[in-house]
Amino acid sequence: MDRLPVVVLSGFLGSGKTTLLNRWLRERQDLAVIINELGDIGIDQHLTGESRVPVTLLSGGCLCCVIQGTLSSTLRNLFMARKNGELPPFSTLVLETTGAADPFGVTAPLEQDPWLQKRFFCQSVLTVVDALAGTRSLERHPEWLEQIHAADALLLSKTAQCEPEALAALQAQLTALNPTAHIYPEPAPVDLLEQSFTRRCRVTGSFAPVAPGGSLLSPHHPQTQPSRHQLYSASLRWEGGLSWPLWQAALKQLARQCGDSLIRVKGLLCVEGLDGPLLVQWVEAQEPELTPLKQWPDEDAVTRLVLIVRHPQADFAQQQLAHWETLLTQLS
């Protein structure tokens, strides 16, 4: 029996995984895609364009530590649907992880489940690196280091917005962290989906954020973090609509509420006067990307938004969205 290759597409929150995947889907129609999202409301699966490729959403938690069992059952269902002719005979499965996921944890079911071992194999781990936020991510986010270390290839994104000196420094840092991974400039070629790599064992030890001014190669790492990620999400569905100026004011208020805890905001906003939604993609200190879409991706033309924060309190994100929803109601 020929086993099906699985490509794990990793990268921290907002690095550009879905943008890259969209470009690949325009060139390859023989894929199946699984998208894992931290929030309870899925957004990324609506951004994969009009491709005929089957897309499965796994929401509400991270595959490496929360819903790993769901991945095993999803892989089984996809394999049987393909075998029974219920899905096109895809040749490669692309698994887009959450920005918090440790790729080694995601690939574990493929290595430990005997049924899956006979039918799938991990062909590669490809990590998208946000060149614009690279140094800041190293200082703040231990997940970023895990994703860099696990990668067979590192795919740079947002390089056009970087100064040449900063980009060269980032590439040197990446090489120091993972000397065996090839670094691909933007745009990463679709041929990467065909390339196989020798699987590597996980190195024991914990990763931790690099202190400002500290060395990336220091052998001393703090022990266990207070929680696996300290990344928490909250989701909002809101029936109303606002004018564009009011949405601008509301988003600024959300940023003020969350402060430095804000990591990622993405959503579809109902804007008065627009036929489709306004797509919001926002990565912590970067400017929000606001894109009007021609039409809603489904029949549910309702504002929906996912907020992701890094905070010691698990309910902080939910509290901020509750306050924000009150503000939206007042503005409407």
Mean pLDDT of the chain: 83
Position 148 scores a pLDDT of 92
Name the DSSP class of 129.
E
Percent of the chain with pLDDT strictly greater than 90:
48
DSSP β-ladder status, 153-157 and 120-130: parallel
* Mean pLDDT, rounded, for 275-280: 92
Is the Cα dihedral 68, 69, 70, 73 positive or negative? positive
- Structure-model confidence comparison of residues 100 and 225, the more confident one: 100
Three-class DSSP labels, 187-241: CCCHHHHHCCCCCCCCCCCCCCCCCCCCCCCCCCCCCCCCCCCCEEEEEEEECCC
User: Is the CB of residue 34 less than 8 Å from the CB of residue 94?
Assistant: yes
Half-sphere exposure of 72 (CA within 13 A, CB side): 16
Residue 14's closest CA among 44, 49, 54? 44
pLDDT at 83 over 70: yes
> pLDDT digits over 104-142, tens only?
888 888 888 899 999 999 999 999 999 988 766 666 788
> pLDDT digits over 178-223, tens only?
999 999 999 999 999 999 988 665 543 333 344 444 334 333 333 3
Contacts of 128 (CB under 8 A, 6+ apart): 9, 10, 11, 15, 16, 17, 20, 155, 156, 157, 188
Residue 259 gets the label, from left (phi > 0), alpha (psi -120 to 50) or beta, of left
pLDDT at 94 over 90: yes
Burial class (CB in 10 A: 0-12, 13-18, 19+), 280: buried
Radius of gyration of the chain (CA): 20
The model's confidence at residue 317, banded by pLDDT at 50, 70 and 90, is very high
Helix axis angle for 316-331 and 244-258, nearest 10°, is 150
Give pTM, 2 decimals.
0.78
pLDDT at 225 over 50: no
Position 283 scores a pLDDT of 84
What is the length of the chain?
332
In Å, how far are 28, 60, 235, 254, 307 from 315, measured between CA atoms? 41, 15, 12, 16, 12
* Mean pLDDT, rounded, for 269-275: 93
The SS3 call for residue 305 is strand
